[in-house]
């Protein structure tokens, strides 16, 4: 961690942590003035807890069949009813949280760094590298996001991994564009010029001086993206290209309930609010984060 000490304007860990604590405190006090964003944060926290402790929270097993109890309407025993195999829908939803959070995290962990690196390199190096990288980005950006995902999932065989890779394939260009725009601004600042003067290598400037400055807006964009990722993942599941049965994937559960939606509506309807709430929470948090992290953005 010797890098930290040589960074300009930072004297030792104590001051660094002090400043970080101040930032966090400021952010929290700003957040308390954003009631909708606060709600989003709380919902997400609850979802993460539910995902981690799913086996202890869920009242029944998500996969155990209980045919005498098939297609029971919502009741005190089964809050969200049961599906055609007598599986408790609420328990399946609770276990489905794991799949959703897993998908979102995996896609974000792929898309974020890839987009950041492509964008920052394009913005910092400029010239022909920039042109080539940005044309590639534009081309991928012009694909409608679900179609390549469909084709890819069809070619590789359906499954959760395929869905994650397929969504990631079309997910990075917006991040790259954003990171490039930020890098274009940051590379002309005085502290970068100073770093270059005292002999910092291009790679060092790229990753220690420019990339960190692009992270806040990238994080905001990623959070807003997560809402879209959830919808795309659920759509893939709905089309049978996501996690395979008997895995309790929300989209697949809706698709499954479609067969008897007119007589037993709860099978198809119940997973919807779960998707809606999760996606909404990410949207709210993304909005709030944008207000907190991006001082130039006037809330509009």
Q: How far is the CB of 233 from other proteins (least distance, A)?
A: 10
d(CA 264, CA 67): 15
Residues at the site binding other proteins, with contacts judged by CB under 8 A: 36, 135, 138-139, 142-143, 148, 151-152, 154-155, 157, 227, 231, 234-235, 238, 251, 254-255, 257-258, 261-262, 265, 268-269, 271-272, 275-276, 279-280, 282-284, 287, 300
Which of 73/261 has CB closer to other proteins? 261
Cα distances (angstroms) measured from residue 259 to each of 142, 162, 244, 262, 266? 35, 26, 17, 8, 12
Q: How far is the CB of 155 from other proteins (least distance, A)?
A: 4
| Minimum separation from the CB atom of position 275 to other proteins (A) | 5
Q: How far is the CB of 100 from other proteins (least distance, A)?
A: 12
Nearer to other proteins, 114 or 269 (CB): 269
Nearer to other proteins, 194 or 276 (CB): 276
- For residue 288, what are its two tokens? 């709030």
Provide, rounded to whole angstroms, the least separation between the CB of residue 199 and other proteins: 39
**Residue placing its CB nearer to other proteins in the complex, 91 or 256:** 256
Which lies closer to other proteins via its Cβ, residue 164 or residue 274? 274
Q: Cα–chain-centroid distance for residue 265?
A: 30
User: Cβ of residue 180: shortest distance to other proteins, in angstroms?
Assistant: 17
Q: Which is nearer to other proteins, 211 or 285 (CB)?
A: 285
- Kindly state the smallest distance separating residue 3's Cβ from other proteins, in Å: 39
Q: Is the alpha carbon torsion for 106, 110, 115, 117 positive or negative? A: positive
Among residues 228 and 246, whose Cβ is nearest to other proteins? 228
Is the CB of 105 or the CB of 150 nearer to other proteins? 150
- Which residues make beta-bridge pairs with 82? 88
Least separation in angstroms between residue 230's CB and other proteins is: 8
Q: Got the DSSP string for the chain? A: -HHHHHSTT--HHHHHHHHHHHHHHHHHHHHTT-HHHHHHHHHHHHHHHHHHTHHHH-SS-SS---GGGTTPPS-SSSTT-B-TT--BHHHHHHHHHHHHHHHHHHHHHHHHHHHHHHHHHHHHH-HHHHHHHHHHHHHHHHS-THHHHHHHHHHH-SSHHHHHHHHHHHHHHHHHHHHHHHHHHHTTSHHHHHHHHTT--HHHIIIIIIHHHHHHHHHHHHHHHHHHHHHHHHHHHHTT-SSPTTS--HHHHHHHHGGGTTTSHHHHHTHHHHHHHHHHHHHHHHHHHHHHH-TT----
């Amino acid at each position: 961690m010797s890098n930290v000490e040589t960074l300009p304007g930072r004297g030792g860990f104590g001051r660094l942590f002090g400043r970080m604590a101040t930032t966090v405190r400021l952010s929290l006090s700003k957040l308390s003035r954003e009631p909708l964003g606060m709600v989003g944060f709380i919902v997400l926290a609850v979802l993460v807890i539910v995902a981690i402790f799913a086996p202890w929270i869920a009242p029944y097993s998500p996969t155990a069949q209980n045919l005498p109890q098939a297609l029971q309407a919502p009741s005190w025993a089964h809050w969200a009813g049961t599906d055609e195999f007598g599986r408790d829908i609420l328990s399946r939803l609770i276990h489905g949280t794991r799949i959703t959070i897993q998908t979102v995290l995996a896609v974000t962990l792929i898309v974020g760094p890839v987009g950041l690196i492509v964008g920052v390199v394009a913005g910092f190096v400029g010239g022909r590298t920039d042109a080539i990288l940005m044309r590639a980005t534009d081309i991928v950006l012009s694909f409608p996001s679900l179609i390549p995902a469909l084709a890819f999932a069809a070619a590789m065989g359906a499954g959760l991994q395929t869905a994650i890779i397929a969504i990631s394939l079309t997910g990075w260009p917006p991040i790259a564009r954003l990171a490039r725009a930020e890098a274009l601004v940051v590379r002309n600042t005085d502290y970068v010029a100073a770093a270059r003067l005292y002999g910092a290598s291009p790679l060092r400037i790229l990753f220690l001086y420019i990339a960190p400055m692009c992270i806040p807006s990238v994080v905001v964009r990623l959070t807003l993206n997560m809402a879209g990722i959830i919808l795309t993942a659920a759509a893939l599941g709905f089309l049978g290209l996501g996690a395979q049965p008997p895995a309790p994937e929300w989209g697949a559960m809706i698709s499954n309930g479609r067969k008897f939606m007119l007589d037993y509506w709860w099978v198809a309807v119940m997973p919807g609010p779960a998707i809606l709430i999760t996606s909404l929470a990410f949207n709210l948090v993304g909005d709030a984060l944008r207000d907190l992290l991006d001082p130039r953005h006037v809330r509009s």
